[in-house]
A and B are shown apart, each in its own frame.
Chain A
Amino acid sequence: MKRSRSISDVFQSSLETGAAWLLAVLWISPLVYAFWAAFHPGEYAVNFNLLAPLTLDNFREALSQAPFPRYALNTFILVSTILVAQLVLCTLAAYAFARYQFRGHKIAFALVLVQLMITPEILIVENYSTLARFSLVDTILGIGLPYMASAFGIFLLRQAFKSTPKELEEAARLEGCGTMGVLWRVYVPLARPTYLAYALVSISHHWNNFLWPLIVTNSVETRPLTVGLGIFGAPESGVNWSVISAATLLSVAPLLVAFLLFQRQFVQSFMYAGIK
């Protein structure tokens, strides 16, 4: 009896493993396919011949048709500007919310949390006219500005700061640290995992953001990768398939490589940020 059960157990678990792998293969196949198309000449796009010649022509073609390095640079500037501004602003705001009982702090915090629901993308129309008023349309700063005071960041960091023991702050004050010193020497180092989690989520979010940058930008000098790719891949531009695949891979490559290298941190960060 016991024996037969263990056989059926083995059977069941290998069945499950098989199903898990099948789903995994199914899930990764679109990406694998993009690699296939990008590294082979156009006529092999739907012809899966293992002996098909490899080529880099598609990448060369994509690079010659659109300034992807420039787009990548823009994305890089955009993402890092946003991240630095977010870290500074959210740290200050989170510290205030975590440790000071100023008048109306509850209402103020609730107003911050409004942004969790009403993200800047939704208010595109009004935000655009605000930018136009400050003549920041078509600047990288303009793309980043609405995101810099991030409710999500304030929220996460506030949680982290609140769990920091007050005694540590008092000790630091006795040692002669000012408010900024306490923040920099006590709170920030202790919240390092939160910072990492937030940074990864922020980077991948802004690397991938499309709608708002599309509206704000209209020149090569400011366009991030996603918008560049969106214009490049538009059906009416009539570019061939393998070249589009190559361009797609070019624009996701940095993020994808980072993800593969730091897979564990990515998954944990998303988990951490999601659980709140």
Chain B
Amino acid sequence: MPAAILLIAFTHYPTVATVIDSLFSKATAIRPSRFVGVLNYQRMLDDPIFWKVLANNAWFALGTIPTSIALAILMALFVNRSIPGRSLVRMAYFTPTVLPMIAVANIWLFFYTPDIGLIDQIASWFGFSGHNWLGDPTTVLPAIMVMTVWKEAGFFMIFYLAAMQNIPPELEEASQLEGATRWYYFRRVMFPLLMPTTLFVLVNAVLNSFKLVDHLFVLTKGGPDNASNLLLYYIFETAFSYFETHFAAALTVVLLILLSVMALLQFFLLDKRVHYR
């Protein structure tokens, strides 16, 4: 099976090799690589940047996921009923999803540019002065979050739309006959029925928040002062800018552990999802 060979070569072998590598020291011209045990991990725990990127990742996930899910549900609700120009509206919501992150970042970079950027221009009409959105450690992460929400909400909408189309219309008719308000119907009937979708989207969103770092290359390069650095980007920097492959391996192990936890979580949650039906 050629598929098996490739899978082993690019998924299983590197996973194991990463763990092993993370236990060795950096090879230098004078000293070859040698076994150092948990030294790389020790160094990682003492590394303020590591904690910084981990916290950033958590904030990034917290900031983007609930917002994109809420927006995705709203969008799906909008497009699920017959409104004029429905397919155009749906297309507008979905388009950011098909664009490459790097292109999206290029467009948004201009919005955030201080003074001449679009946001500052519009703000200046209302008398606000320019702000360096991506240069200020307090606004850089929120700025990136806004863009990510914009990019992802339409993608998640698709899943909700699919789920909503599977809800029998009799349920809504019945609740209307009972005199329930639409908000009540949504809260007590629709939202619980969408739960499996929400779990699925949630897991995917968390995975994405760890995997997606393309925009950092264009927008901030993790700066200023690591204020927008995320774990995978830090791994990239460590390995390919500072050539500290063994330290990068230790960081990768952390990422792998986080993802495995997610995998287990999904496994158990999806089990529940089967019981739902």
Q: Name A residues whose Cβ lies closer than 8 Å to a Cβ of B.
A: 13, 16-17, 19-21, 23-25, 27-28, 30-31, 33-34, 37, 45-46, 89-90, 92-93, 96, 108, 111-112, 114-115, 117-130, 145-146, 148-149, 151, 154, 204, 207-211, 214-215, 225-226, 229-230, 233-235, 241, 244-245, 247-248, 251-252, 255-256, 259-260, 263, 266-267, 270-271, 274-275
Most chain B beta-carbon contacts within 10 A, residue among A16, A92, A235? A235
- With A and B bound together, what is the CA distance between A229 and B217 in angstroms? 11
Contact partners of A267 in chain B: CB under 8 A: 90, 94, 158
| Distance in angstroms between the alpha carbons of A21 and B110 in the assembled complex | 25
B89 near A21: Cβ-Cβ < 8 Å:
yes
Residues from chain A with Cβ under 8 Å of B200 in the complex? 274
**CA separation between A50 and B222, bound complex, in Å?**
38
10 A-B contact pairs sorted by A residue (CB < 8 Å):
A23-B93, A25-B92, A28-B92, A31-B95, A115-B11, A123-B11, A125-B235, A229-B102, A233-B218, A274-B159
Which of A30, A115, A124 counts the most B-chain CB atoms under 10 A from its CB? A30
User: Could you tell me if A123 and B106 are in contact, using CB atoms closer than 8 angstroms?
Assistant: no
Known: A123-B252, A214-B217. Contact between A28 and B95, CB under 8 A?
Answer: yes
- A89 lies within 8 A of B161 (CB): no
Asked whether B11 lies within 8 Å of A114 as measured between CB atoms, the reply is yes
Query: Number of contacts between A and B (CB, 8 Å)?
Result: 229
**Secondary structure at chain A's binding surface: helix, strand, loop or mixed?**
helix
Q: Which residues of A contact B235 (CB under 8 A)?
A: 124-125
* Residue pair A229, B106 in contact (C-beta under 8 Å): yes
Assess whether A122 is in contact with B259, with CB atoms less than 8 Å apart: yes
Residue of B6, B10, B13, B83 with most chain A CB atoms under a 10 A cut-off: B10
Stretch in B14-22, B39-47, B54-62 with 4+ CB within 8 Å of A: B14-22
A10→B263 CA distance, assembly (Å): 46
Assuming A27-B95, A121-B232, A126-B17, is B7 touching A210 (CB within 8 A)? Answer: no
Q: With contacts A30-B96, A130-B13, A230-B102 known, what are 10 further pairs, Cβ within 8 A?
A: A24-B89, A117-B262, A121-B232, A123-B18, A210-B101, A226-B102, A245-B106, A248-B107, A251-B100, A263-B94
Check if A270 sits within 8 Å of B155, measured CB to CB.
yes
Which of these, A117, A126, A210, contacts B100 with CB under 8 Å?
A: A210
Q: B98 near A112 (CB under 8 angstroms)?
A: no
Min CB distance A218 to B, Å, is 11
Name B116's closest neighbour in chain A (CB-CB).
A46
A27–B79 alpha-carbon span in the complex (Å): 14
- Our pick among B5, B81, B88 for the contact of A24 (Cβ within 8 Å) is B88
Nearest-neighbor residue (CB-CB) of B108 within chain A: A30
- Please, which residue of chain B has its CB at the minimum distance from the CB of A245? B107
Interface residues of B in 206-264 (CB under 8 A from A): 207, 210-211, 213-214, 217-218, 232, 235-236, 239-240, 245, 248-249, 252, 255-256, 259-260, 262-263
Complex CA–CA separation, A230 to B103 (angstroms): 8
Would you give the shortest CB distance from A143 to chain B, in whole angstroms? 12
Q: Which chain B residues lie closer than 8 Å to A259 at the CB level?
A: 95, 98
B99 beta carbon closer than 8 Å to chain A: yes
Given contacts A118-B11, A130-B9, A130-B13, contact A251 B90 (CB under 8 A): no
CB distance from A232 to the nearest CB of B (A): 9
> Are A274 and B162 closer than 8 Å at their CB atoms?
yes
Q: Are A114 and B3 also in contact (CB < 8 A) when A24-B92, A27-B92, A119-B211 are?
A: no
A207 CA to B101 CA in the complex, in Å? 11
The distance from the CB of A183 to the nearest CB of chain B, in whole angstroms, is: 14
Q: Is B109 on the interface with A (CB-CB < 8 A)?
A: yes
**B107 touches which of A17, A34, A119, A225 (Cβ 8 Å):** A34
Do B255 and A122 touch across chains, with their CB atoms under 8 A apart? yes
Q: A30 touches which one: B150, B207, B260 (CB < 8 A)? A: B150
Would B232 and A89 count as touching, CB distance under 8 A?
no
Let me know if B12 is at the binding interface, CB within 8 A.
yes
